[in-house]
């Protein structure tokens, strides 16, 4: 499998797939091989179909996860193995569109207050204040903080696109205090090896621990801070197009989901029953 794995990695590198896609596709092929106890190039299309049925019915993985597995296997067989005749898929299906949970002001204050470690608190504050994805916040460089323009540069966000987002005055003050204490050189939040950035899982763990300590029971991981950023901006009167640019959404439709989360707009909407002139 090592030679096949190396070839698959090269195939993905040539296509400039993200690191998360690399991990997802490799895991899909590895799990398939383990399931049958043989190298994946020996597994037939019918066996792949049987495996997809297994992960749906026996393991009960959700539809989007199975779609991801299927995409990884299709890439491996059609690109890495060049088996153009390979054909397997799962029927498309609409997945439930669940609205994300959003933290209110009191919950955010508690979250930051219980996080005593300065670095950890600044990581959470930066994620919320700039509306960053976890993969973006851990890769912010010192040179990305532009205090003159009060902006943060996000390099190679989702889709390998650069963008700018806002730099909060309060966050800038926190960042300066953090820099004086830690003196990071390249990465704003370096990992155990200073030349490398902090890993995503560490930032996720910091949020989960802080959320539990703050007594917040809402479901969701660190991405809740990004959802909260967008929702609070919308409630504050910022237009959707500006929020789209700050979040780095390719489509305005992705940003429009936050219209469903704005408490102030919902509270200001009267029920048609209240409009009836009936005593």
Higher pLDDT, 264 or 76: 76
| 191, two tokens | 């990992």
pLDDT at 95 over 80: no
Whether the Cβ atoms of residue 132 and residue 224 lie closer than 8 Å to each other = no
pLDDT at 268 over 60: no
Give the confidence band of 275 by pLDDT, cuts at 50, 70, 90.
low
Q: Is 77 known to be catalytic?
A: no
What backbone phi and psi angles, to 5 degrees, belong to 186? -110, -60
Give the confidence band of 145 by pLDDT, cuts at 50, 70, 90.
very high
Say which DSSP state 147 is in.
T
Note the residue count of the chain. Answer: 279
CA pair distance 127, 137, nearest whole angstrom: 6
Instruction: Kindly name the residue from 51, 77, 128, 258 that is annotated as catalytic.
Output: 258
Q: Is 218 known to be catalytic?
A: no
Q: Is 258 known to be catalytic?
A: yes
Whether the Cβ atoms of residue 172 and residue 150 lie closer than 8 Å to each other = yes
Q: Is 7 known to be catalytic?
A: no
1.10.443.10, 3.30.70.20, 3.30.70.870, 2.30.30.60: CATH of 105-266: 1.10.443.10
Instruction: Kindly name the residue from 121, 211, 232, 249 that is annotated as catalytic.
Output: 249
Token pair 């997809």 in the structure block, residue: 52
Give the confidence band of 251 by pLDDT, cuts at 50, 70, 90.
confident
Domain residue limits, the chain = 2-80, 105-266
- The strand order across the sheet containing 163-166 reads 145-146, 151-154, 163-166
Tell me the mean pLDDT in the region 228-236: 90
Higher pLDDT, 242 or 92: 242
The reply to whether the predicted model has a pTM over 0.85 is no
Q: Is 133 known to be catalytic?
A: yes
Q: Is 249 known to be catalytic?
A: yes
Instruction: Kindly name the residue from 121, 163, 211, 226 that is annotated as catalytic.
Output: 226
Instruction: Kindly name the residue from 25, 51, 121, 133 that is annotated as catalytic.
Output: 133
Tell me the mean pLDDT in the region 265-274: 57
Q: What is the pLDDT of residues 182-207, one digit of tens each?
A: 999 999 999 988 889 999 999 999 99
Give the sign of the dihedral formed by CA 237, CA 241, CA 247, CA 253: positive
CATH 1.10.150.130 fits 2-80, yes or no: yes
Q: According to the model, what pLDDT value does residue 270 have?
A: 58
Instruction: Kindly name the residue from 158, 204, 213, 257 that is annotated as catalytic.
Output: 158
**N- to C-terminal Cα distance for the chain?**
77
């Amino acid at each position: 499998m090592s030679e096949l794995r190396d070839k698959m990695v090269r195939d993905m590198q040539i296509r400039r797939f993200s690191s998360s896609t690399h991990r997802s596709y490799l895991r899909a092929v590895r799990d398939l091989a383990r399931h049958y106890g043989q190298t994946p190039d020996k597994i037939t299309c019918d066996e792949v179909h049987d495996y997809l049925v297994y992960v749906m019915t026996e393991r009960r993985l959700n539809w989007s996860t199975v779609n991801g597995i299927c995409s990884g296997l299709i890439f491996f067989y059609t690109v890495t193995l060049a088996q153009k005749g390979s054909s397997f898929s799962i029927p498309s299906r609409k997945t439930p569109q669940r609205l994300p949970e959003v933290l209110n002001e009191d919950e955010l204050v508690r979250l930051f207050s219980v996080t005593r470690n300065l670095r950890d608190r600044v990581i959470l504050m930066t994620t919320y204040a700039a509306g960053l994805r976890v993969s973006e916040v851990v890769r912010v460089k010192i040179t990305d903080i532009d205090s003159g323009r009060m902006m943060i540069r996000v390099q190679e966000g989702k889709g390998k696109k650069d963008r700018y987002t806002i730099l909060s005055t309060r966050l800038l003050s926190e960042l300066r205090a953090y820099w004086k204490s830690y003196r990071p050189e390249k990465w704003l939040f370096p990992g155990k090896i200073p030349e490398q950035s902090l890993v995503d899982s560490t930032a996720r763990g910091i949020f989960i621990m802080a959320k539990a300590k703050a007594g917040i029971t809402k479901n969701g991981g660190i991405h809740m801070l990004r959802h909260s950023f967008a929702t609070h901006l919308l409630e504050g009167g910022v237009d959707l197009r500006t929020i789209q640019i700050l979040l780095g959404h390719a489509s305005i439709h992705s940003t429009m989901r936050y219209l469903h989360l704005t408490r102030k707009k919902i509270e200001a909407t009267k029920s048609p029953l209240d409009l009836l002139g009936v005593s």
